[in-house]
Structure 1
């Protein structure tokens, strides 16, 4: 009889799911601090705090008339160098090799000059690296910026995509795994939510001896916190 009871207890313990307590903070799935890498005067600011932006949308630009003029000049040189190369290629067998090499060199230099000036021009335009919302701004028209001393002018975060940064006791380092269910509540919200562990950090924090994991979520306000339970299959 005792053996039967013990066997039943062991069966229950191995078939019931274990719940591991975890707390979490809500973070944006993507976030970035944006800065100009060129020097100049801010000519245009197109967004403000709370602006929803698309990937590659122009956020701000510097006064770049001089760089733009130089870019156009190099494009003209490149256009004629390309034409001359095309003409010389048609009579390549009839001309001196050194003359052809000089034409080819002029073409390659013109092409490189366009690429260089284009890169300088691109640095005067700050674009959104991904779709998101601007949540901090510290730039106005007329401000001077320096590419030698980078200063964050915008902060952007993903519009809806969030991640919950979970913390749980390190003794469960070999138990919590990707794919497990996380049942949770956000502080101030009585609704129960479910998510799936998408990432487990491969280290424990030296200060609080906690492990971390991530759960993907949507639409929560960044900075909120809550708690819940990681469901571990006991089989």
Structure 2
């Protein structure tokens, strides 16, 4: 404890000497950390942040459902399912390779153009996120399914369970425990990328911060929006660390003599 306290004090002194006690720190405070501007525009940025939360909440459900279907299609066995496996693999390759910004432009401006219909930004944002992140999550789920030992499937089939029953009752429960940490990391990435839906014209936290910055000639609103996203991510980060440590302790239980 003494060593930890001493090293913390040393780090604080170094930060004070190299960052705080410099000529440029006053300018940083004025243009990035102005409390008055933060309080003035907090309500508008918060209203935009609620839009981000709506997109995130809906996308979690749609991404999970689509990714589970794609992962299941990729794990189907037998030559008759070869075209289905190829189609699922092509989907994951396509949307894992496309930058999310390009998907947003294609979905947000391409679909309304070809259909000559105006869609709400929340619909287009959820669609773009679902198309992109279902490819990532599907690969994680597929890896978890294939990590389950084949003897588990054989034992389930020997007991008379069908393919769907084996997948739902035997394979997926074991796979979820293995893939929970990477799924949480994908969820963290999704939390950050919902801020890009401002490209579609939605007044979310990022767009509200942009408008506030243009009005105040100050970058503090961007810091406020960033803090909101960080506060949203911290519980998931801590939960991921806790669950990963728990899995590691469970796997290593009994290994120390």
Pairwise same-fold verdict (TM > 0.5): no
> Which is richer in helix?
2
Normalising to structure 1: TM-score of the pair?
A: 0.23
Point out which structure has higher relative CO (alpha carbons under 8 A, 6+ apart).
1
Normalising to structure 2: TM-score of the pair?
A: 0.22
